[in-house]
Structure 1
Amino acid sequence: MTGWVAATGVDWGRRLAWRAGLVACVAGLCPLAVRASQIEEPLSDSVRQALRAAVEFSGPPEPEFVSPEARIAYLRWLGELSPRLQRRKPDLQDRVEFLQTVWYESRRAGLDESLVLGVIQVESAFRKYAISPVGARGYMQIMPFWARLIGDGDPSKLFHLQTNIRFGCVILRHYLDRERGDLFLALGRYNGSRGRAAYPNAVFAAQRQWRLG
């Protein structure tokens, strides 16, 4: 192996280890996401108020449809993704509630549902009560400081399904706007690893599993 490194400049052992780690993370088997975390940054009053308004709750995530075709598209999405999620969420009611919330909050924030599912897979492997070593919580691994900055100050609520996914979608939308639509950089900022490829690439790989066939 050292001969290969000397001849090519590539440490194949490290590269293979990185690829193995990426595959495991895509499968939800290792905590890639917890190696970094969202970083608390100063927010202007206007941004803070806008984000606070975006996470305020007005009711349950009940889908609304502008046409029969839109309803059919949602039911097709739900019908195709529910079996894919069954291994991780065996209970049908729990699975439907989770997917309905992801669909609702993704649309509300102007994000692709498959992207949000990819983030959830990499961040928490679909574990509602996941806690990282640095204290990030829930499906989308929200840092408690967000509850203080734009919520009501109670970080325990970040384990609530809709609260967690709404915070995650609003925060990712905020980062995407800050990065002027550059999803690679926005995902890095979400993970606290802006400019490094491992986390965005893991999310993109996971996202492909949640697109409609």
Structure 2
Amino acid sequence: MRFAALTVVFLSMLAAWAHAASPPSPADQQELRDFLKSTINASDSFEDRFAAEVWLVDMSGRLKPFIKDPKERLELLKSIHREATKAELKPDLVLALIQVESSFNSYAISRAGAQGLMQVMPFWKKEIGRPDDNLTDINTNLSYGCRILQFYLKKEDGNWMTALARYNGSYGKYWYPERVMDAWRKRWYIDESL
């Protein structure tokens, strides 16, 4: 349950920055740059094989309307779970954010120039000293997006709504966080108490 709440918060933060037409304040920018550098690489995500199979089968069925190929779905889901878990985010909330951001199109580009599944702004590559990174690469995009969302969630003391608004660049407004939370409740939510 803790991973789920963290995932939603971090996804929100990434979306806010991903849609921002300009970089955050210099202090936030430096703080996030340092955070991204220190956390960009992490370990595997599933506790055991059974948990992996249950989650992957369940989510694959939910993802089918967006991605028809079963192998592509499973590879994407493993990547999402890994990157969300490394960032201490709930994978099902990251799925909701991706649905809202790009509708699972890894080549999506926004009017503001945000790229990939999680709609990450290209200036982040330069900010963290990785100018050659490809934001349309699924794993790269997920890594950036999840860590940016994680940063905003921590900055907002676990408040998913404000973290998601920051991620989207709509801080102070709630239309974007409401869209993500609505997608989460309708398609991706997992009741971990069962």
TM-score scaled by length of structure 2: 0.81
Counterparts in 2 of 1:1-213, with a 5 A limit? 37-38=19-20, 39-41=22-24, 42=26, 43=28, 45=30, 47-55=32-40, 57=41, 63-65=45-47, 70-154=48-132, 157-208=134-185, 209-212=187-190
Query: Sequence identity of aligned pairs in percent?
Result: 40
One-letter amino acid of the counterpart of residue 37, structure 2: R
Query: Structure 1 142/62 Cα, relative in aligned 2: closer, same or farther at 3 Å?
Result: same
Contact 1:77 1:212 in 2 (8 A): no
Gaps of 5+ in 2: 1-14
What amino acid is the match of 1:176?
L
| RMSD (Å) for aligned C-alpha atoms | 2.2
Distance 1:212 1:131, change over 3 A: same
Q: Which has the higher contact order (CA 8 A, sep 6+)?
A: 2
- Partners of 1:151 and 1:137 lie apart in 2 by 18
SS of the residue corresponding to residue 159 of structure 1 reads coil
> Which letter does structure 1 place at the counterpart of 2:143?
R
Please identify runs of 4+ aligned residues in structure 1 that moved more than 6 A: none
Per-residue CA deviations over 1:70-114 (Å, capped at 9, x if unaligned) read: 432221111111012112111111111100001111111011111
Partner of 1:6: none
Paired amino acid for 2:38: A
- Deviation string 1:24-71 (CA, Å, 9 cap, x unpaired) is xxxxxxxxx89x82341214656522311222x47xx85453xxxx43
Which has the higher Rg, Structure 1 or Structure 2?
Answer: 1
Residues 104, 179 of structure 1: CA spacing in aligned structure 2 closer, same or farther, 3 A cutoff? Answer: same
Structure 1 residues 188, 46: CA separation in 2 closer, same or farther (over 3 Å shift)? closer
| Secondary structure of the corresponding residue to residue 103 of structure 1 | helix
Which ranges of structure 1 fall in alignment gaps of 5 or more residues? 1-32
